[in-house]
Structure 1
Amino acid sequence: MALHFVLDEPAVAGPGDAVVLTGSEAHHAASVRRVRVGEEVTVGDGRGAWLTGRCESVAPREVVVRIETRMDSPAPRPRVVLVQALAKGDRDELAIQAATELGVDVIVPWQAARSVSRWDAAKAEKGRARWATIVREAAKQAHRAWIPEVAPLVTTAELVARAGESRVLVLEPSGPDRLTEVDLRGEERDVLLVVGPEGGIAPEERERLSAAGAATVRLGESVLRTSTAGPAALVLVSAALGRW
């Protein structure tokens, strides 16, 4: 499989045009992946454009790719959204990395009541930027045409407000129904998978979400870590939506 690289701007190039990689992407291509003149690569913009071409010149500061073919992938509908509670250590980061590789469309960091990690106003933007970097690299590794959006940090109140316009599935080991029993055929709304922190989702949070129309579901008989639950649920939802 050809090596894949990502542009920082929307791709406007087509067959016969040249695309120039600069900055860290050029350095990665030339010095880390050691691409060679004449080698076939793919280039995307994370917004659906998928370009295939051959390297015309290679240097650490600039790699020129002559485009041979272009495809444009439509944005997935409905979108699958992972609402990932902040977690201690790197468990939330492991979750979003795996979810990106598995096809999530949007990632929403959630300041849950039991989250050990806390993002204040200053830390929230830095945390979001770090998550966006992780997501970009994971999408690049997975050769995805669309890079998932990382939304701003939400509170429980803000999450509850979204329940009326989306299909919200709260992952809870004691949920009355299995996720595999949820019928998603023909679903047109965003599907939100809500994952709590290490200590689980607080009862009052589950009650507020349920009152707003969210369904509480379980994955199976075992209790998964916060880093595992979201990616596992994403696989099942992708299959139910016909993506897999």
Structure 2
Amino acid sequence: MSLPVFKVEPGRLAGLGPGAALTVTGPEARHAVTVRRLAPGERLELVDGAGTRATAELRAGDRDSMEVGVVAVTTEPARTPRLVLVQALAKGERDLMAVETATELGIDAVVPWQADRSIVRWKKERAAKSHEKWVHTVAAAAKQSRRAAWPEVLPLCTTRELTRLLAEPGTRALVLHEEAHEPLAGLPGVAGTPWEDTGRILLVVGPEGGIAPAELEALAAAGALPVRLGPEVLRSSTAGPAAVAVLSAALGRWAPGSR
């Protein structure tokens, strides 16, 4: 059975080795001791969200504090190219559903996108609160899926800001669109060998009403390639995770022995 995972601050696991002692406090310790009711002698894993994982043994715990002894520490190298989900805001929290599932599937970063046809709007007074909700959703999904590296949630972007992201060096963008002719699974360089010259791949998913024609033109002009997943038209909550799964398999992320 998999060991339970708890997050510590970035850098807390640096330089630690077998036999080192570590004190963890706050909500994560409270969850381990009070909610999970772990007892001394039981093993758990600590992650720092940046790729470092420590297997540890609980020595003592009390409410919101626990003492652990480190058994082993490993660091997972950053994967390239990075997969970034650009998810348009959608009603009914379908955007959050997409972000949650994509996190479980291994996405490296997410970008909230205020598309022209997005019904949901992050107005000034709610923008920070809505962004924080995305951060919490990603954290919960990363912890549930036992990830050592947690996705970054970038600031909300408009279509104009998104085109600037697409123009950054080492970036390739794929826009999921039902009328595209190019199949995602058959792209040259993806089906077979990784895109070695690419630092990150942006997967752009529109809102419930689809991507507006003018937006699609702007994204294409910035270098984005419209692609389709298959004959079915997927919801905004499904398309992104489906594309992540296709690319993860094509890029060898899910090959035997990979992390």
What interval of TM-score do these two structures reach, taking the shorter chain for normalisation? over 0.9
Return the alpha-carbon distance in structure 1 between the equivalents of residues 88 and 186 of structure 2. 24
1:135-183 CA-to-partner distances (Å, cap 9, x unmatched) read: 0111111111100000000110011112223110000111111110113
Shift of 1:80: 0.2
SS of equivalent residue, structure 2 residue 232? coil
Question: Aligned runs of 1:3-82 on 2, under 5 Å?
Answer: 3-10=4-11, 11-12=13-14, 13-82=16-85
SS of equivalent residue, structure 2 residue 91? coil
Moved over 6 A (4+): none
Question: Aligned runs of 1:129-144 on 2, under 5 Å?
Answer: 129-144=132-147
Amino acid aligned to 1:179: L
Q: Are residues 1:204 and 2:205 paired?
A: no
In structure 1, the gaps of 5 or more residues are none
Q: Relative to structure 2, which stretch is displaced further, 160-169 or 108-117?
A: 160-169
Question: Aligned runs of 1:41-190 on 2, under 5 Å?
Answer: 41-165=44-168, 166-183=171-188, 184=190, 185-187=193-195, 188-190=198-200
Amino acid aligned to 1:167: R
Q: Relative to structure 2, which stretch is displaced further, 108-117 or 17-26?
A: 17-26
Shift of 1:64: 1.2
Return the alpha-carbon distance in structure 2 between the equivalents of residues 157 and 126 of structure 1. 23
Shift of 1:122: 3.2
Shift of 1:22: 1.4
TM-align CA RMSD: 1.1
- Contact 2:116 2:212 survives alignment (8 Å): yes
1:5-64 CA-to-partner distances (Å, cap 9, x unmatched) read: 111332223222122221111111112111110001110100111100100002221011
Amino acid aligned to 2:206: G
Return the alpha-carbon distance in structure 2 between the equivalents of residues 163 and 53 of structure 1. 41
Residue 3 of structure 2 is matched in structure 1 by: 2
Q: Are residues 1:226 and 2:227 paired?
A: no
1:201-240 CA-to-partner distances (Å, cap 9, x unmatched) read: 1111001111111100111111111110000000001111
TM-score (norm: length of structure 1): 0.97
Return the alpha-carbon distance in structure 2 between the equivalents of residues 193 and 108 of structure 1. 10
1:106-125 CA-to-partner distances (Å, cap 9, x unmatched) read: 00000000001101233222
SS of equivalent residue, structure 1 residue 64? strand
Identity of paired residues, percent?
A: 48
Return the alpha-carbon distance in structure 1 between the equivalents of residues 227 and 32 of structure 2. 44
In structure 2, the gaps of 5 or more residues are 255-259
